[in-house]
Structure 1
Amino acid sequence: MTASLPRPLTHLGDMPVDEFLRDYWQQKPLLIRNAFPGFESPVSGEELAGMALEEAVESRLIQERGEDGPWQLRSGPFTEEDFLSLPRSHWTLLVQAVDQWMSEVAELKEYFRFLPEWRLDDVMISYAADKGSVGPHFDYYDVFLLQAEGKRLWHQGARVDDQSPRIEGTPLKILRDFEPENSWVLEPGDMLYLPPQYSHWGIAEGSCTTISVGFRAPSAKTILEDLAAELAHALPEHLRYSDPGLEPARVPAEIDAASVARLQEQLGEWLLQPRNIAQWFGAMMTEAKYPDTVALDAGDASDWREQLPSGATLVLNPASRCAFCRDPETLFVDGESFPAPPGFAERFCNSHSIDARDLEDFPELGAGEGLIDLLVAQGTLIYPPEDF
């Protein structure tokens, strides 16, 4: 990887990104040979194991043949003794959100900005001993599986759902009946794209490291529950079901089609306005995956006033997320919405930083209890970490 900030991919292998989005995205799998020519892993298995010792890092260890039965799952933090006691094969270590802790991994996300940034979830990295895997399974989100070190055999099966039979006796959702439709061995730089619900099974051939770039996809249940709760909280009491111009009831006990249609129209008037949807959706899709990590970096809201004009830069916390909307003019950060000029909001979401030029162009940002004060106080804006 180069030291300069990478740019979004224009091609996936020999395929233009436009063609990929038209024919493959959310539709069918795609194997991309040599997607990253000469790729070198930004993290080693030893470094991943070291991260898994830390309490702030989410990690899991999966053994195909554990002491308590097949497909044993253990959650971190782990100890050095945990790793020393592992067998020589058939186990996998998974570490979530490595992009929050390593700048070299965070830079990988830049390549995928041909997709909406607010759709990107995190970068998970797994290290597997020989024959290590997490079993045949499926996910509800899109994922790019980039081979970083060693080789992994990938089996890709049919599209399945939560009605598909699972293996009992394990907390892991391992598919009981799995039939491969395609099989490939991936080497460093190769990448496999899988849309939601395509069953797959990756098995290490010797030890290997795989990078998973996943994308957020909230369920319909989550969307409806969250949206209803958020919008209902803001509705005034005087908005109620009403039926002026009512015709005489022919069957008093019947809830007729006209009543249902009337309620549907009123719900649209109360809730489903584009501005309401945009405000809620922006906040939801920028919620930090690990908000406690963001809160740890909460700073003194007055300190930046001396530092920024003298050449310092504030950057977006690696654990934070941001997006913006032009109508209404809003910046979304870590699940919160702030009124902001679109010119600034777009610049900030692209650069993930604020410097003296922003204060010159948008002086309102520096007002007391203004946007910069608020973002520094909640840990969203920080001085660049040493590793970043």
Structure 2
Amino acid sequence: MPSSVTVPCQYRTGKTLGSGTYAIVKEAVHIKTGKYYACKVINKKLMEGREFMVRNEIAVLKRVSSGHSNIVTLYDYFETTNNLYLCFDLCSGGELFDRICAKGNYHEPDAAALVRTIMKAVQYIHDSGIVHRDLKPENLLFRTPAEDADIMIADFGLSRVHGRRKSSICFTEICGTPGYMAPEIFKKTGHGKPVDIWAMGVITYFLLGGYTPFDRDNQQLEMQAIIAGDYKFEPAEYWANVSDVAKDFVSNCLTVDPKKRPTAAEMLEHGWLADEKPHYVPDPESPTGGPTDLLPHIQKRLDAKSRFRRAVWGITAMRRLARVRANFKRTVNKYKEESEKEEIN
């Protein structure tokens, strides 16, 4: 576990920003400088037997922190009697899709610019000997609300120190977010850096269409589709507004065999990201032949998915989770409440 490297009273915690399985994230201000951070608060009792997870996250972030403008930095970590605290960049600009939907329009070159930036950060992570293992839109945050703010890769809780070779296979456990997990994770055949490229393919598909390529009625069907690489660029009216070059980029990322899947460096050389002239389908109603606005279709799909999720969560999913995880959730909530109540000022 981390040693007490700083005096707890140097910070004052504020509002809760989010909550995960093992931790909550609170706003924290450094008393002397007045600078704000996102502070991950981890209850020690909850982490008993899992201390390696915290040590691993710190080890990973030490390798990549401050080395790239599009990766969150770990500035400090310390402990009190009850909790562990990790202080990161406070990304106040919101999540990726919230930002996109707040724009008045959104075009394929915008998506390419975002993917290029994120892929460069992934290349840096991989070159540093790290595999992220949980790339998804929710972990892509903007540093500030400013229009030109950096997009940041966050949440390295599932990341691992990895060999520097692409072919290095180190891990066999199932981890990540189901819709973004690569086939080799489900098959338990061993996985490494190529899982992040697969996730980038899913993210790019999502950025262009507003839904994931393996979206199915239940998780079992989704897993089967992922293992088989069973996806299509449908419905046709959505994807008619996306260039063939962009679709080819997605297909390259979603190569089922991880040994044949390109690296981040290779994907950065793909025409969709590397060509000087941007790729897009011209808007037939644009007098200048500019790109077609993708936002209407994306918002339509996101709104439909949000309504569907609310219905499912309200009827089926929550019942099942309540039966399976009742005792675990009670314990987690108890410890997280203790963490949230502790004052460090």
Query: Relative contact order, CA 8 A, sep 6+: which one is greater?
Result: 2
Max Rg structure? 1
- Structure 1 and Structure 2 fold alike (TM over 0.5): no
Structure in which a larger fraction of residues adopt helix: 2
Structure in which a larger fraction of residues adopt strand: 1
